[in-house]
Every structure is written in C-alpha cells, then in structure tokens.
Structure 1
Amino acid sequence: MITLITAAVGVLSSLSALWLSIADRRSRVRKDRLEESERACLSGRQEARDRERAETALAGAVDARLMSRSPGGAAGWLVAVANDGALAITDVLVRYSGAAMADPFDLQAGSRGKVEVTTAAAPPRLAELAVEFTDAGGRRWQRRLAGGLHLATLSAAGEYEWGPARLPVAPEPGVWAAPPIGGHGPRLRLPAALALLAVACLVVLLVRH
C-alpha cells in the first residue's frame, strides 16, 4: 500500500513539474514575442523621427519676418525671407490672408528676399501672413509668421493641404510600460490542485488503513 501511495504521489509530482515546465516555456515564448514587437515598434518610431528631422532640417533654415519701411510703418510693410540653409529653395510665395503678395521667386543658399505687403491693416496681422516654398528635396512647406512650419500634402483635387506644425520631437522614454510577463498566478492553479489531490488521496488511504 505504501508503495502505491508513493507511486501515486510521484506521478502527481511529475505531472505538476511537467505542467510548470510547459507553462514556463509558453511564458518565455510570449515574452520573446512581446520584446520583439516592442523592438520593431521602437525601430519604426526612431526611423519616423529621423525622417522627420531630416525633412525639417532643410526647411527649418528658412526664416521670415515682418519689417516696416520706416518707424511706425508709415511707409508700408515688408516680409523679409532669409534662406540660411546650404541649399536653394524655389517658388517662394508670400501670402497675406491667402492672397499672393508677389510672383514666386527663388532664393539661393545664404540669400535674402523682400516682398511688400499690401493691406489696409497697420501693421499687418501676423496670423494672416505666411511664406510658402519648396525645398531642395521637392517638399512644399509653409512658414507662418505667427509661428509654425507646416509640410504640405497634395490632395486629390490637386491642392496643398498643410499638416500639423513641425516641432522638435522629444525622445521616447527609455522604459516602456508593459503588462506583466510570465506571471504564474493563474497557471499555478492546476499544479496546486494536483498537489491537493495527492495529499487528499494520501490522507484517505492512511485513514482506511
């Protein structure tokens, strides 16, 4: 009888160990898959940030300011456009309230240009002033004098649609919050039940004998 009890306990212990081994393996596989997914996500985010920085680097060197021809602006107002980058920009267009203030022109690297603003407002409202241009990579941008550098996309109707303002991108936190991996709370229920069953069988056999 003792031999039978010992054998039963041994079998249950082996089953419990086998179940724990399987649960641990599944946990490791899930953990590896999650880590691989996180690495791919981080890599994709980094590539997107690098691409955005590279795009913005060319356009970020273009500056635009409102200037008065004389103190108080009595003689009129100008928009001064400066290309401080290393490459030329083309099709530079100054707009006020959506209307072009002059024909498009090009600016070589390190050059300046000025366009007179025709408006009854004194001074012109910065929120209504914008400079559009195409960088050396063929991307169309809009520099708003009130603040903001916007990349254009071409709509199905063939019109430019301005995206959100490009700002410095803050680095992602180095530590990512993730759900617990490999927790054994629910997975220990079956092994625990087997152990309890083994103890119960042993108690019953001892009582009978």
Structure 2
Amino acid sequence: MVELVIAAVGCLVGLGGLAISYAAHRHQVGQAERLAEREQLVAERERAADERNTLVHASRLHVGFMATQSPLTNLDTWVLRVINYSSQPMRDLVSFYGGERLEFDSPTGHLSPGVMREARIPSRLAEPRPLHEATIVEFTDAAGLRWRRLGSGVLQCRRDNPDGSQVWGPEQAPLVEYANPDAWARRDLFMRFEAGGPDLDFPPER
C-alpha cells in the first residue's frame, strides 16, 4: 500500500514537473514570437521611412512647358523644362516625348539642386501644343535609384529581379507636401512668352 502511495506521489510530481516545463517552454516560445513580431514591425517601419525619404527626393523634380513665338511666323516653339527642387543632385537625366528622345541643353545629364534644364520639342510633335501625357522624364537620384516621372505626375522606381532583369515598379504619387505648390506645377498649365519679351524663371523654392 505504501509503495502504491509513493508511486502515485512520484507520478504526480513527474506530471507537475512536465507541466511546469511545458509552461516554461510555451512562455519562451511566446516571448520569442513577440520579439520577432517587434523586430519585423521595426524593420517594416525603417523600410517605409527609407522608401519615403527616396520618394521625397524624386517628388521634387518638376516638369513644365515653355513656348516662345516667332514674330515672323507666329509659330510657337515649345521646350520641356525640368528643375531640381531637392537638396541633392540628380544625374543621367533623359526625357522622351511621344516616344522620341529629347536632347537637353546640357549633354552631361547632371541636374544640380536648383538647376533648370530645357529640351526642345519638335514642332511636328507639339501641335497645337504639347501634352503632359506624352512626356516621360527619367533620372537617377543621389542614392543610385533609377526613377521615371510619367506625364500624369506619378513616379516609378526601377527594380532588379532575381534573374538580373529590370522592371519599373508600381506607380507612386509624389509627396505633395514636398512638392512646390505654385500654380505653374499644375498639369494643365502652359507658359507662353513673346519673342524678345521678358524671360521668367520657375518660382523659387519655398
């Protein structure tokens, strides 16, 4: 009888120890899961912050049109104007209109902060006036990321695939709070100056 009691007590003690070990294990597993979740959340926030910072830079490239009119022919000559409103340089600047590449007034493709470049649009493509929808501007930011700005104003960042190929990422709306809010930046705005008249520049950065 005594042996049975001792065996029963030993069994209960063993079961209790097993329960305690299981509870401790579950506690450790729960702590590890919570720690992993926090680390993932921090990583996602850091990645979102990095993406936002790069988008801030890309959002500060502005595009507009300028027209001058010849007093002899009364025909408009249209140019595409881009200006870098960010505090960092942009490079490898290229533009396309209607599928044709335009040549900027600087062959270097470098666009320093506050600098403006112009590219003449062939008259056969700009009649009666150019369309923003036909415009694409590509550039590389200070971090080495390749961007393109579509005529609608949205931005796309080029991505590398595991197989080595490159594709344009999803369209991203520019961060409006970092873009110059002046009226000239509206998609429907066109600027025209008479030949020989005063030349006006883009508004200064605020």
TM-score by length of 2: 0.62
Q: Which residue of 2 aligns with 1:26?
A: 25
Opposite residue 26 of structure 1, the aligned amino acid is: H
Please, which runs of 5 or more residues in structure 2 have no aligned partner? 70-74, 176-206
Deviation of 1:107 (Å): 2.7
* Offset at residue 24 of structure 1 (A): 0.4
Q: 1:1-209 to 2 correspondence within 5 Å?
A: 7=6, 10-66=9-65, 75-103=76-104, 104=107, 105-118=109-122, 119=125, 122-153=128-159, 161-167=167-173
CA distance in 2 between counterparts of 1:159 and 1:77 reads 36
Query: C-alpha deviations, 1:72-106, integer Å up to 9, x for none?
Result: xx725433212111233233222123321224543
Aligned residues: 164
Counterpart Cα distance in 1 of 2:133 and 2:39: 41
> Per-residue deviation at 1:63?
1.3
- Report which of the two has the higher share of helix: 1
* SS of corresponding position for 1:85: coil
**Quick one: distance in 2 between partners of 1:106 and 1:34?**
48
- Gap runs ≥5 in structure 1: 170-209
3-state SS of paired residue (2:87): coil
Amino acid in structure 2 at the alignment position of 1:75: D
Separation in structure 1 between the aligned mates of residue 101 and residue 60 of structure 2, nearest angstrom: 22
> C-alpha displacement at 1:20, in angstroms?
2.0
Task: For residue 106 of structure 1, give the secondary structure of its aligned residue in structure 2.
Answer: coil
Determine which structure has more spread, i.e. the larger CA radius of gyration. 1
Cα distance in 2 for residues equivalent to 1:81 and 1:53 = 22
Say if 1:76 and 1:161 are closer, same or farther in 2 by CA, change over 3 A: farther
Using the size of structure 1 for normalisation, the TM-score is: 0.61
Q: Report the RMSD for the aligned CA atoms in angstroms.
A: 3.5
Deviations along 1:176-207, one digit per CA (max 9) or x if unpaired, are: xxxxxxxxxxxxxxxxxxxxxxxxxxxxxxxx
Does the CA-based 8 Å contact 1:65-1:145 persist in structure 2? no
**What residue in structure 2 maps to residue 185 of structure 1?**
none
State the Cα distance separating 1:114 from its structure 2 match. 3.0
